[in-house]
Chain A
Amino acid sequence: MRVAVTGMGVVSAAGVGVDALLAALRRTDWMLSPSRFLKTTRQVPVGEVPYTNAELQQRYGLDPRKTYSRTSLLGIAAATEALQSANLPKGSRIAFVSSTTVGGMDLTEQFYDCFRHDPQKGRLRMVVHHDSADSTKTIAETLGLQGFATTISTACSSSANAMLLGKRLLETNWCDAVLVGGTDALCKFTLNGFASLMILDNAPCRPFDETRAGLNLGEGAAYLVMQRPEAATHAIGYLCGAANANDAHHQTATSAEGRGAQLAMRKALQAAGLQPSDIHYINAHGTGTPNNDASESAAMSAVFGESVPPFSSTKPITGHCLAAAGSIEAVITLLALQQGEMWPSLNFKQPMSGTSLRPITSLTMCPIRYAMSSSFGFGGNCSTLIFEK
């Protein structure tokens, strides 16, 4: 069964809203720059949302005296737009499947800097937002969502998995509509985490390029409203296949042949009842790390053979938004279907050795019926989504 996507909202380095992201996707001169708001000694390009917490709180009419994690604020922005664009009928049973990897870590970092000197110090209101559920509950409360809610955290495939569960909740009639997606704010914890793994590039990331040297971290949120097709009065597109598989190779690295990625792609095709040749465009995970891009290229070659469809990574525009990456790229993939445009992979110059695969490097007009989006995370977690116009 396929489910209709009837609303979507996004906040990213491009700004607040789907229109801001669409405008950025059409630009070829987009460049990420060092953080303005996050206080860090690491002067590396990041995909930072161009608003302070105070500006976001004001924009969404939130009490300025209350403490919100940035993860919650980004989520509120994206979820508000998604629900407005879906315009669900009153009385709909709306389930909410959110995802995050950092939760309220931006606040915990401030708390812990005091706490580590004296365990009686550090404001408690800065640490109560630590857990993953906090942003989900804050978003639900702000938007008046009172139905079932849950939070998934499977690293960088988190929000793709939220979409997968949301689809199943509709298929099993657990709800009438489901708000799905993810949110993650930039914080020192993740920035330094990827730096410690030596997969953070000091220059703009170059997915699928021979000279790629790592990822640029981003922040953002994206939520989509999905309904059963017969209940939908309109549709931006359809989620027609979703699958998760595990690479079972290493806690952080992916296997050379992309075993988990291949399996996720094949299972998603099977779930959608499609052949590889039906796919017209792939929005790749394409982080720009040497390991991911080689492994993902091997997986695409294995699944699609000689005719790998046009593909690109949009992470040079958004940065890698971790839990939010899957849902942000779901929005980007749906925009490709809707607009009939394939987004260029910026900063690509030289194909990787050992493969002849080249991503699309210019904006390409082309009617697209089916498009694929993949997300891969720590713990070998691999997810693939297939969208239909």
Chain B
Amino acid sequence: MNAYIHAIASDTSLTEDIKLLIPNPQMRRRMSVLLKQSVGAAMQCLHNAGHPAVDAIVTATAFGCLADSEQFLKNLLENDEQMLNPTPFIQSTFNTVGGQVALLCDNVSYNMTYTHRGHSFESAVLDTVTLLETGDASCVLLGAFDFKTPTLEIILKRMGWPEGYGEGAYFFLLSSNPDGALAQLHLPEFPAYLDKADLPETPVYFPTQSASSLYDLLAKGPLKKPVRLCHNYRDREPAVLLVSPTK
């Protein structure tokens, strides 16, 4: 395995002005809040890494740009399929964040998006690690994003879900070079079940929570000992992310 994490960023840790991260005013104006936060986190991660030459962009999201999807759906039902504004439809696509980052950076490389509920981020990690392992890429921007919407919260409440559903956008810059890395990332594991003891103490379950856990772990600085990040979204999707110190 040769996947090393060099830089991280989240939507709540932006140190740069959003106008610098997303310099194109027209793009910025059209972006929904979620899109701006997610693309902002991605651009902050590239900034933190010193703008390396990225040759793959891999994103993960369970619900995508939910607010945009809802907006378009609402418009089409209310207006009886007439006179629709295409912008929310365009932004509802799951790969919008990856596409917008490519557009902002003029990046023509591999661009992939995984949307597999509680295994969305783990799938993106699998793609990233195998890309670096096979040499198909040498520098990958990996990230996950999911945000609450009022409608999602109402539906979850009606379904009897506990309060405290999480959200956020988290990005990681990986390369095959170990020098100066925060940690080494390994292939994810998908065990049949997980021991309760392995699970986080405060479950703030949302589908791409493992990206948030990985971010929190590395926000403390370079990793000192190997860690297994275990998650089991809705008690149905056990998965383990493995990270270890850079040798």
A→B interface (CB under 8 Å): 40-42, 101, 108-109, 112-113, 115-116, 119-120, 124, 127-128, 131-134, 136-137, 148-155, 161, 165, 168-169, 171-172, 174, 188-189, 192-193, 195-197, 244-252, 259-260, 263, 377-381
Assuming A251-B99, A380-B103, is B77 touching A150 (CB within 8 A)?
no
The answer for the CA separation of A244 and B99 in the assembled complex, in Å, is: 13
The answer for the CA separation of A148 and B127 in the assembled complex, in Å, is: 13
Q: Mark B97-114, 1 if CB is under 8 A from A, else 0.
A: 011101101111111111
The answer for the CA separation of A188 and B158 in the assembled complex, in Å, is: 26
Assuming A116-B77, A154-B94, A168-B134, is B155 touching A124 (CB within 8 A)?
yes
Known: A154-B94, A251-B90. 16 other contacts (CB 8 A): A101-B93, A119-B151, A124-B158, A133-B62, A151-B114, A151-B123, A154-B113, A171-B134, A172-B130, A246-B57, A246-B111, A252-B86, A259-B108, A263-B108, A378-B96, A379-B93
A-B contact pairs, 16 of them (CB 8 A): A151-B115, A151-B123, A153-B113, A153-B115, A154-B113, A188-B76, A192-B81, A197-B89, A244-B111, A245-B111, A246-B111, A248-B102, A248-B107, A378-B90, A379-B95, A381-B99
Min C-beta distance of A71 to chain B, whole Å: 13
Q: Mark B43-87, 1 if CB is under 8 A from A, else 0.
A: 000000000000001000011100001101110111011101110
Chain B contacts with A in 119-169, Cβ cutoff 8 A: 119-120, 123, 126-127, 130-131, 133-134, 136, 151, 154-155, 158-159
Contact B100 A192 (CB under 8 A): no
Contact B99 A152 (CB under 8 A): no
Q: Mark B218-247, 1 if CB is under 8 A from A, else 0.
A: 000000000000000000000000000000
The answer for the CA separation of A248 and B109 in the assembled complex, in Å, is: 9
Contact B99 A148 (CB under 8 A): no
Min C-beta distance of B235 to chain A, whole Å: 14
B190 within 8 A of A: yes
- The interface size of chain B toward A, counting residues with CB under 8 Å, comes to 60
Residues in B neighbouring A120, C-beta threshold 8 A: 158
The answer for the CA separation of A298 and B96 in the assembled complex, in Å, is: 25
Assuming A197-B86, A197-B89, is B94 touching A168 (CB within 8 A)?
no
Contact B123 A193 (CB under 8 A): no
Residues in A neighbouring B72, C-beta threshold 8 A: 189, 192-193
The one of B76, B130, B154 in contact with A168, judged by C-beta atoms closer than 8 angstroms, is B130
Contact A380 B102 (CB under 8 A): yes
The answer for the CA separation of A106 and B111 in the assembled complex, in Å, is: 27
Min C-beta distance of B203 to chain A, whole Å: 20
